Amino acid sequence: MRRRTLIATSFALGGLILSMAFARGQNQSLPSLRVGVLFPGRMGTRRRDIVRRGMSEVLGNAADRVAIDARSAEGDADQLKAFAEELATVSPPADVILALGSLALQYARGVTKQIPIVALDLETDPIASGIASTLARPGGNVTGIFFDAPEIAGKWLQFLSEVMPSLSRVALLYDKQTDLTQLKAGEDAARLLRLEIFRIGIGSAAELETAFEAIAAAKSNAVLAHSSPIFVDNAGRIASLALAHRLPSIMLFPIYAQMGGLISYGPDNFELLQQVGTIVGKVLKGASPADLPIERPSRLRLVINLKTAGDLGLTVPHSLVLLADEVIE
């Protein structure tokens, strides 16, 4: 009980310090607060601007004076780990760490139990992994948006089956550097649908061509690409490889179908950046991550690319087209 009291007191004091620092930050002559961003891929200005837009929903114009120190590992796990250590230990440490992806969160948690961490992690189960006590009150120094997707893994395979009734063997493409909870959900869903599974993991985008050659050699009928920051940055490349190998495919993010993939079903990754930015804003304003409820994506979108379906010689059922939020012709 005494340990819990000490932890609660620590976060309360941390929130007070952040509130005072934020108030001082209204005076532009004083140093601003700093958000350290850990990103496994390439962050870029678009993602940075979207995060700041989310922060401004809470902080108003003062969000413009918050420094966003984005560290892009560009697929290098060792570099990502080094960045986490820098953000937590190099003086002055970041006021908040924004961890994008399960590996970024793993490394952030490994270097600090005091600095607030806001996560956007679409692969990890926060309760089963011990990150949070409950979704309503995480209880530690981590909060954010999580979506391990067991509830929609079956939908991904169902959509593929509707477009390709002869589907019998599906390749599950995943990033070996992410948490495997989502992959296991895909495997469970495939078994329920009596589909054979070909499991193929990659460690970097450079392995995508080899992975698709293996998928084709294994006589897979279709590809389910699980979520990964690396896959988002390479959505067009994955779509092109799937088409070149005559493979119907589905991915979590809308950008996949928009860039030539057959189907996508899941949250918009850029909308999630704005949503997680608002959580960062709340923490900067003094809220404790221990008390900030873990959020889920606010909406899921079904996007179907009819042009790609035609190129693959497939007919998308009209009933499925009617369900789509966006149809690309």
Domain ranges within the chain, ordered by starting residue: 2-147+269-284, 150-266+300-328
Least confident stretch, 167-171, 265-269, 286-290:
265-269
Model confidence at 21, pLDDT cuts 50, 70, 90, reads low
Model confidence at 150, pLDDT cuts 50, 70, 90, reads low
Class of domain 150-266+300-328: alpha beta
What is the spatial distance between Cα 302 and Cα 261, in angstroms, rounded to a whole number? 12
pLDDT, average across residues 150-168: 91
Q: Does residue 238 or residue 204 have the better pLDDT?
A: 238
% the chain with pLDDT above 70 = 89
- Which helix (H) or strand (E) segment is 134 a member of? none
* Burial state string for 210-231 with b = 16 or more CB within 10 A and e = fewer than 16: ebbebbbeeebbbbbbbbbbbb
Does this model's pTM top 0.75? yes
CATH number belonging to domain 2-147+269-284: 3.40.50.2300
The sheet that has 142-146: what strands, in order across it?
Answer: 67-72, 34-39, 96-100, 117-121, 142-146
Identify the sign of the CA torsion 84, 89, 90, 96. positive
Q: Rounded mean pLDDT of the chain?
A: 90
What is the per-residue pLDDT for 31? Answer: 46
Model confidence at 149, pLDDT cuts 50, 70, 90, reads low
What is the spatial distance between Cα 181 and Cα 100, in angstroms, rounded to a whole number? 16
Model confidence at 75, pLDDT cuts 50, 70, 90, reads confident
Given a cut of 50, whether residue 27 has pLDDT beyond it is no
pLDDT tens by residue, 238-269: 999 999 999 999 999 999 999 999 999 999 98
Alpha helices in 249-304 (DSSP H): 254-258, 269-284
The answer to whether domain 2-147+269-284 and domain 150-266+300-328 are alike in fold is: yes
Model confidence at 103, pLDDT cuts 50, 70, 90, reads very high
Q: Distance between alpha carbon 266 and the CA centroid of its chain, in Å?
A: 11
